[in-house]
Structure formats: C-alpha cells, structure tokens
Amino acid sequence: MKQKSGKSVLTSKIETEIDLLQRHVAMLKAIMDNEPIGIIRLSEMLKYPQHQVRYSLRILEQEGLIEPSPDGAMTTVKIQDFLDHLKSILETMSNTVNELRESIE
C-alpha cells in the first residue's frame, strides 16, 4: 500500500523522523557555532521558516540542550553528553540499517 506521494507507509514515518532530527541537529550546531542567536537569524542562516525554527528551539529547550537569553538561544552544559549519546545512537542505527540492507540483497 502506498501513500499518495508515492512513499511507502512502511518507510514514510522513519523518513519524516530522520528529516526532523536532521533539522534539530542543524539548529543545535548553528546555535553552538553562533550563540547567542535569535530566531530570525537562525531562519535566514538555515533556510527554514520561522515557525519551524521556533518548533525546533522548543524541542531543544525541552531536552535541556539550549536555554533562552535576552540575546537569543544559548547551549547548556548538557550539550556534550547529548552529542556523545547521539553519536552512539546513530552508530547503532547505521549498523541496523546495514544489516537490514544485507538481509534483502
């Protein structure tokens, strides 16, 4: 069964989630490299609409990775632990994807 866009129901959710993670990580990296930084500048730099920037900032703040300041978003002390965890998760995911790919070849 395929959705109207031609994407498979089996894979569309993971594709959407990966795209979202990619945006959040791009936002986090931009904040790390330019902190403090505001919504408008992030939107211009990363070419995301302001409503998507706000959403990503809200998620990153809920995770405790950034905090607001009068001059814009700034990273917190939790950032390095998160990046180490993310690298580990991505490595595990990569291995799983490779195993899955090999299983269908």
Residue 20 has pLDDT above 80, yes or no: yes
| 6 phi, psi to nearest 5 deg | 95, -5
pLDDT digits (tens, 9 = 90+) for 96-105: 999 999 999 8
pLDDT digits (tens, 9 = 90+) for 37-93: 999 999 999 999 999 999 999 999 999 999 999 999 999 999 999 999 999 999 999
Q: What pLDDT score does 5 carry?
A: 56
Q: Which of 28, 36, 44, 30 is nearest to 73 (CA)?
A: 36
Distances (CA, A) of 6 to 2, 10, 14, 104: 6, 12, 15, 21
Q: Indicate if the alpha-carbon torsion angle 20, 23, 29, 32 is positive or negative.
A: negative
pLDDT digits (tens, 9 = 90+) for 21-36: 999 999 999 999 999 9
Q: Which of 63, 91, 64 is nearest to 77 (CA)?
A: 64
pTM equals 0.84
